[in-house]
Amino acid sequence: MNMQTGKTLSVAEAALCEAYDHAVGDLPGDSAVLIARDGLISDFKAAGLPTRRIEAWHYTDLKALLRSVPDVAPAASADAVAPLVAGSAVLSVANGVAARAASAAGATVRTFAEALADGTAAAGLTARDGDDAIGRLNGAFVRDGFVLDLPEGTEPDAPIELQAVQNGGQTHVRFQAGIGAGVRATVIERHLATGEEAAFATALSELTLADGADVTWVIQQAKGVSDTHLGQIRVRLGTDAQLRLYVVNAGGRLVRQEIHVEVAGEGSDLKLRGINLLGGETHNDVTFTVGHDVPNTTSTEVLRNVVFDRARGVFQGQIRVAPDAQKTDAKMSCNTLLLSDEADFSAKPELEIFADDVQCGHGATVIDIDHTQLFYLMARGIPENKARAMLVNAFVAEIVEELEDEPLVEALEGVIGAWLDKHA
């Protein structure tokens, strides 16, 4: 909504400002990049971390929740792990540094550090608005990542995996992907932890789909139990572009995943599917905005959340329809299984409609496991814990099955199954 007048810095705010002063000397980038970084950090100093008084952070008071920030740990190392889907081309970022000479067939790949060094990345180092803490922090601190281009005519035969593995410390990673006209591709973006140390990460992805591109993009977040992960993806869809965006959160201590989509080309379609598996002490916030800016576009969003233990889940979703975006069809649903009396879930599904010839709707539910279904299974001799696990699994797996990509479906079901085995 507006900037706070934070006079005194919190411990985490002070640590971040200090970390910047230490790091700025050896962060890659030309003078334009440095000016952008300085601008962002000074905005951050002025605004501080967002509190719940900022509407976009209503349920995630970052200032209160983020008590400390680990130091940058340049010595720590992390090893790449096997890709989610066998046979994928892996572009790996280990503790914030991209592997040199990584490649994917047909794609043009550069490290983000190179793009910073020659200044081409400067224009992207921006905050979306005055409340975009993630954009500010990532823009100020970003060290590396990948710039991925799939020009018109490329036909990648395997998924491309963008893998960020972290072992403690701080990392600030950015992925930029430009998908050319008519290109069909599957990209898997993974944020993983290998160590026990508390880690802090910002991750920002910029995805552009040219006319007629057809993309499946999966974001898997599986950080450690004491990690903070602040992620954001900015998407722009061209004419007749199709995007299936799957976001799977199953880890981390303090997680915020922002998804911002501009539906900017007529005939384009967005399918967002989100799975949030929350347990332990996790605070997990998925914040989504979609702007339908042109006529004849569609979007559907389906979120399935499972909340155990003392976890807290948040979903904020906003569908905006611009005055000229007639014939927009947008539907959003957010369903939550709340499985513990100490857990909680808050949802804020918003509609902001300025065109009249539209069909927009949202639905949100918060429920416990259906006792009649449980009874049905138990009556057939299935023990209660197993019956519960089956029902929870069915609740989330349903939306994975929509993907018509068998190896990917199996991989995601594997992720969900493994998590539920541990928590349910």
Q: Indicate the length of the chain as a whole number.
A: 424
- Beta strands 144-150 and 108-111, pairing class: antiparallel
Alpha carbons 221 and 198: distance in angstroms, whole number: 15
Is 279 a binder of other proteins (CB under 8 A)?
A: no
Alpha carbons 30 and 345: distance in angstroms, whole number: 44
- Torsion angle in degrees (nearest 10) through CA of 20, 25, 31, 36: -10
SS3 content of the chain, % helix, strand, coil (to 5): 25, 40, 35
Site residue total, other proteins (CB under 8 A): 36
- Least distance between other proteins and beta carbon 35 (Å): 33
- Least distance between other proteins and beta carbon 373 (Å): 15
Helix axes 11-23, 31-47, angle to 10 degrees: 170
Nearer to other proteins, 77 or 340 (CB): 340
Nearer to other proteins, 364 or 409 (CB): 364
Alpha carbons 124 and 359: distance in angstroms, whole number: 34
Site string for other proteins, 286-325 (x = CB under 8 A): -------------------------------------x--
* Site for other proteins, residues 45 to 84, rule: CB under 8 A: 55, 58
- Least distance between other proteins and beta carbon 251 (Å): 22
Alpha carbons 170 and 372: distance in angstroms, whole number: 47
Nearer to other proteins, 65 or 116 (CB): 65
- Least distance between other proteins and beta carbon 350 (Å): 5
Alpha carbons 299 and 235: distance in angstroms, whole number: 13
- Least distance between other proteins and beta carbon 301 (Å): 13
Nearer to other proteins, 45 or 327 (CB): 327
* Site for other proteins, residues 361 to 420, rule: CB under 8 A: 361-368
Site string for other proteins, 95-134 (x = CB under 8 A): ----------------------------------------
* Site for other proteins, residues 319 to 358, rule: CB under 8 A: 323, 326, 336, 338-341, 343-358
- Least distance between other proteins and beta carbon 237 (Å): 21
- Least distance between other proteins and beta carbon 253 (Å): 20
Site string for other proteins, 155-194 (x = CB under 8 A): ----------------------------------------
Nearer to other proteins, 9 or 355 (CB): 355
Residue whose C-alpha is closest to residue 202's, from 245, 169, 162: 169
DSSP string, 328-396: -EEEEEEEEEE--TT-EEEEEEEEEE--SS-EEEEEEEEEPPPHHHHHHHHHTT--HHHHHHHHHHHHH
Alpha carbons 385 and 424: distance in angstroms, whole number: 8
Q: Which residues pair with 303 in a beta bridge?
A: 274, 334
Residues that bind other proteins (CB under 8 A): 1, 55, 58, 323, 326, 336, 338-341, 343-368
